[in-house]
Chain A
Amino acid sequence: MSDTTPSLTIEDTRHVAHLARLNLSEEELKSCQHDLTAILDHVATLGDLDLTDVEPMAHPGDQTNRLDPDDVQPSFKVEQVLNIAPATEGDFIAVPKVLGDTGGSA
């Protein structure tokens, strides 16, 4: 794996921060680049293993999807949800403009 894995550049780090929706300062990006490089170097030791034909295991146990009866259960009241929202307007959670010139990323 170490052959195929390029070291992490500052541009890569910036790209990952964008994917993670994390606003990081230049200094934080640099420190992330440094730390992630060291951790990924350690992770590269997985490349020493012969994992040919090994089935990936996402989950312990042998459970499959479980079906529950289709019964209506009580849910939160609107006011409970609004009470914990950082900004509200009437019965809605307020957010910046999503559509139009400044909103969204289309």
Chain B
Amino acid sequence: MSELPGVRQIATEVREGRTTAVAQLDACLSRIEAGDKSVNGFMEVQSEAARTQAEQVDAIIARGDDPGPLAGVPIAIKDNIVMQGRKTTCGSRILENYISPFESTATERLVKAGAVLVGTTRCDEFAMGSSTEHCAHGLVRNPWNHEHVPGGSSGGSAAVVAQGMVPAALGSDTGGSIRQPAAYCGITGLKPSYGRVSRWGLVAFGSSLDCIGPLTRDVADSAAIMNVIAGPDSHDSTSVDTPAPDYLQNLDERKPLVVGLPRQHLHERNHPAVVAALDEAKARLEAQGATFIDVDLKMTDHGIATYYVVATAEASSNLARFDGIRYGRRAEQRAGESLEDLYARSRGEGFGPEVRRRIMLGTYVLSAGYYDAYYKKALQARRVIHDEYKQVFQTCDVLLGPTTAEPAFKIGSIADPLTMYLSDRYTVGANIAGIPAISIPAGLAEVEGASMPIGLQLQAPFLGEQALLQAANQLQQSSDHHLASP
């Protein structure tokens, strides 16, 4: 599978006329045909819509016009980012037949840049989960070992890139949903700063936490996608107003980095191979002149509690719109039934157990009498976490630590919701604070006789994507970890 070229290579070859967008699409569709039977990452392969886009790219080239920086690059889209005229289910029964009447800003920009959107990828229902086991339309398998989860919630996006079906996919990250599956599948996943990529057309989960970002095989491809999707958008009033820089321009710049190591992320429960991978990465950075300092993120232990109050409160409000009236699935109407009963039955039947659980939690923490004890307290803790990061970044350029404590777990092995939530321990902080973070492949662990990937996370200050990508690129280029494939 490793013969699949990357984002920049495909774009260059298509732009130079050495291949066509249609030929690239056909090759991609054959790889999906061969690879997805066992992985099950695609929710829907939309070959007709994709072919139309590919033909347009080839027509633009035939006219002698500029097809854009991502000309002919096949890209998969997480099933919670809408594309006009295509199905978006969010991994839920309640949207099982929803055809979007509008286009997300991120996908609109990809298409304008010449990309070919080949289909949608499975995710945990409404992006709520860490394993893609909570998808109403079937689970996804980790390409490295089919008995293990690909991570989540962008598990489908991570799996189809890792399996070599597409060179890139979009995901969304509310508490780690791009970085954790990227780590579990051995690829590169970037969660940008809050607001750096427009959320227009991303089905909302936690509006103050949600970010769209790329999953790719290396950092430079991640930068190439960011160059297209990042930037202000009048459709999203929370998008950052300043134009996005060219992330590829100075990507190879080498700086003597000051790297912060959060003590609280060097937990004794980290898998020995994760500890070894971090030590090995440090040695490589040190050889390139980096210096290390130990820093404290003392709020790490309170991150999950803060996150699950804020995220579920926002989710309970956002998901109120799914009531079976204007769009989505409506329960079978009963004679004489009130509108309210119809809402409750449509929602009870349409949402799966994890989404119901989070709506319940969010409703509870916002309800009269509990607002101050839970929601307000979590927002105050959020401020403390935000300020703690700000202070730490006075002393270092980037933070380095594991993305997850362990490699991907076995399908069905975590039944307890709280245990599943705690697996996001190292990733939620970036969402709470709004800062950018990236997970890159850092080696393999032996798990029950099979090799499973490990990811390391780098974090940078708000809007520090350029420094983050430079540091990640520097680290990535000093080893072959990102070239490993299942």
Cβ–Cβ contact B359 & A51, under 8 A: no
User: Which of A8, A49, A56, A96 counts the most B-chain CB atoms under 10 A from its CB?
Assistant: A96
Q: How far is the CA of A91 from the CA of B238 in the complex (A)?
A: 34
Cβ–Cβ contact A61 & B302, under 8 A: no
Cβ–Cβ contact B360 & A32, under 8 A: yes
> Is B361 in contact with chain A by the CB < 8 A criterion?
yes
Q: Given A22-B351, A61-B240, A84-B327, does the pair A46, B381 have CB atoms closer than 8 Å? A: yes
Query: What is the predominant secondary structure among interface residues of chain A facing chain B?
Result: loop
Cβ–Cβ contact A102 & B383, under 8 A: no
Q: How far is the CA of A84 from the CA of B302 in the complex (A)?
A: 42
Cβ–Cβ contact A103 & B356, under 8 A: no
Cβ–Cβ contact B347 & A23, under 8 A: yes
Cβ–Cβ contact B305 & A43, under 8 A: yes
Chain A residues 3-62 with CB under 8 Å of chain B are 4-5, 8, 12-13, 16-24, 28, 31-32, 35-36, 38-40, 42-49, 51, 54-61
Q: Which of the four size classes fits the interface of chain B?
A: 35 or more
Cβ–Cβ contact A55 & B383, under 8 A: yes
Q: Which of the four size classes fits the interface of chain A?
A: 35 or more
Residues on the B chain within 8 Å of A38, using CB = 416-418
Which chain A residue shows the least CB distance to B309? A43
Q: Which stretch in B223-231, B282-290, B328-336 binds the other chain?
A: B328-336
Cβ–Cβ contact A16 & B367, under 8 A: yes
Cβ–Cβ contact A57 & B344, under 8 A: no
Cβ–Cβ contact A39 & B421, under 8 A: yes
Cβ–Cβ contact B323 & A21, under 8 A: yes
Q: Given A42-B304, A96-B337, does the pair A4, B373 have CB atoms closer than 8 Å? A: yes
Chain B residues 300-316 with CB under 8 Å of chain A are 301-302, 304-306, 308-309, 316
Q: Given A23-B347, A32-B360, A93-B325, does the pair A54, B383 have CB atoms closer than 8 Å? A: yes
Cβ–Cβ contact A76 & B101, under 8 A: yes
Cβ–Cβ contact B376 & A56, under 8 A: yes
Q: How far is the CA of A86 from the CA of B382 in the complex (A)?
A: 40
Residues on the A chain within 8 Å of B360, using CB = 13, 16-17, 20, 22, 32, 36
Residues on the A chain within 8 Å of B421, using CB = 39
Cβ–Cβ contact B380 & A86, under 8 A: no
Which chain B residue shows the least CB distance to A1? B373
> Is B208 in contact with chain A by the CB < 8 A criterion?
yes
Residues on the A chain within 8 Å of B386, using CB = 57, 60
Cβ–Cβ contact B208 & A21, under 8 A: no
Q: Given A43-B305, A54-B383, does the pair A23, B367 have CB atoms closer than 8 Å? A: no
Q: How far is the CA of A45 from the CA of B324 in the complex (A)?
A: 37
> Is B234 in contact with chain A by the CB < 8 A criterion?
yes
Cβ–Cβ contact B343 & A21, under 8 A: yes
Chain A residues 43-101 with CB under 8 Å of chain B are 43-49, 51, 54-61, 63, 65-66, 68, 76, 80-81, 83-87, 93, 95-98
- List the interface of chain B (C-beta within 8 A of A): 98-99, 101-102, 194-195, 208, 234, 237-238, 240-241, 301-302, 304-306, 308-309, 316, 320, 323-330, 333, 336-345, 347-349, 351, 353, 356-357, 359-361, 363-365, 367, 370, 373-374, 376-384, 386, 416-418, 421, 432-435, 462
Instruction: Across the A-B interface, give the 8 residue pairs with the lowest CB-CB distance, nearest first.
Output: A60-B434, A23-B348, A56-B379, A86-B330, A57-B383, A23-B344, A51-B380, A54-B380
Q: Known A-B contacts: A22-B347, A38-B418. Give 14 more (CB < 8 A).
A: A21-B347, A23-B345, A28-B356, A38-B417, A42-B308, A46-B374, A46-B381, A51-B377, A58-B379, A63-B241, A81-B101, A84-B327, A85-B327, A93-B325
A-B contact pairs, 5 of them (CB 8 A): A22-B347, A23-B347, A39-B417, A60-B432, A105-B338
- List the interface of chain A (C-beta within 8 A of B): 1, 4-5, 8, 12-13, 16-24, 28, 31-32, 35-36, 38-40, 42-49, 51, 54-61, 63, 65-66, 68, 76, 80-81, 83-87, 93, 95-98, 102-105
